[in-house]
Amino acid sequence: MAWRTQAQVERAFLIPDMLSGSQCLHSPWTSFLFPEATQIKAGGRLRLGCGCHPRDWLHARDLCYVDNIICNKTMALLLLDIGNTRLKWGIWVRGHAGPEPELLAHGAMSQQSIETLAAAIEEHGRADAAIGCAVAGAMATARVDAQLAILGLNCQWIHSAFQQCGVRNGYTTPGLLGTDRWAALIGARARHAAEPVLVISVGTAVTVDCLAADGRFLGGVILPGFGLMLKALEMGTAGLNVPEGELREFPNNTSDALMTGGALAISGAARQMHERLSRLEGRPPIVLLTGGAAPKLELALGLPHVTTEHLVFEGLLCIARTRGLIQRD
């Protein structure tokens, strides 16, 4: 059992912000002195939802029984990315926001499974706010909003702006740029603030976007992803409905020929845009590869690159910071 005075509590929260005491999480002292505390299922710890400093909870005369209390200086933020076929989600609580933010939990599901979103998130605790991007249309977004309502959340859906977080939108009509592309560009800018960047996102569709060193989004290309290419060939030809193949140097069967052909088509477009951006900037850009199907392209890309799983979430965190949803580092 660990009994701590106010001064001991304050010192412990200031150095790190966690106290390790007895195994008991249900002391009557805890519920009396910390009425705002809520239990996180994962790890069986308690989180203080009020966001105040320990000196506001305790008086000098009080001795309190403290065990595994986490100071909630930063709210738990739910990040959402509704793509054309999948929904990606993550919970960010505190700490490192990018590159590769530290997420308490994350997952993905098909659009057909959206009605399980609330249950999936509840398994990992409670979020205090939500921010997201959506390109799947109003119907899918409304279904997600209904799931968030079960959790008591109202998502702040982003829109592509003319300028935000150091990125200037070069689209003819800035608002028509996909919000997932916009978030990824902001994430790229946060990583490499003084470098040109080529952002390759491989999903249902593939986008190859060019970001200048001064923060200008110059433009990009969109082409079919692996799945759409294969479906088009299946629909337009006979005998090509075959299992998914692998990338080969010299494919000698139909499955591998289809996979390798798709990878080379995408990588060819990426290398063309890489050459154009290099010529404009006078130096080769940093290449960021992201998206659910990114691993299929890695071997065929033919460019030095960094594969990043959560580039869109990194951009959402940058936007969330400007909106006051999370504290600045």
Q: What is the pLDDT of residues 179-209, one digit of tens each?
A: 999 999 999 999 999 999 999 999 999 999 9
CATH class of the domain at 194-309:
alpha beta
Structure confidence at residue 329 as a pLDDT band (50, 70, 90): low
Task: State residue 96's pLDDT score.
Answer: 63
Q: Which DSSP letter does residue 258 get?
A: H
Q: Which DSSP letter does residue 18 get?
A: B
Residue 25 has pLDDT above 80, yes or no: no
For CATH 3.30.420.40, list the domain ranges present in the chain.
194-309
Mean pLDDT of the 113-139 span: 94
What is this structure's pTM?
0.77
Short-list 139, 138, 121, CA closest to 130:
121
pLDDT tens figures, 57-111: 333 223 333 333 333 344 799 999 999 999 999 999 876 666 778 899 999 999 9
- The helix or strand, by DSSP H or E, that contains position 140, with its residue range, turns out to be helix 138-150
Task: State residue 295's pLDDT score.
Answer: 92
Task: Report the share of the chain in percent with pLDDT over 70.
Answer: 75
180 catalytic residue (yes or no): yes
For 150, half-sphere exposure in the C-beta direction (CA atoms, 13 angstrom radius) is 14
Task: State residue 43's pLDDT score.
Answer: 36
Task: State residue 244's pLDDT score.
Answer: 84
180, 209, 214, 256: the active-site residue: 180
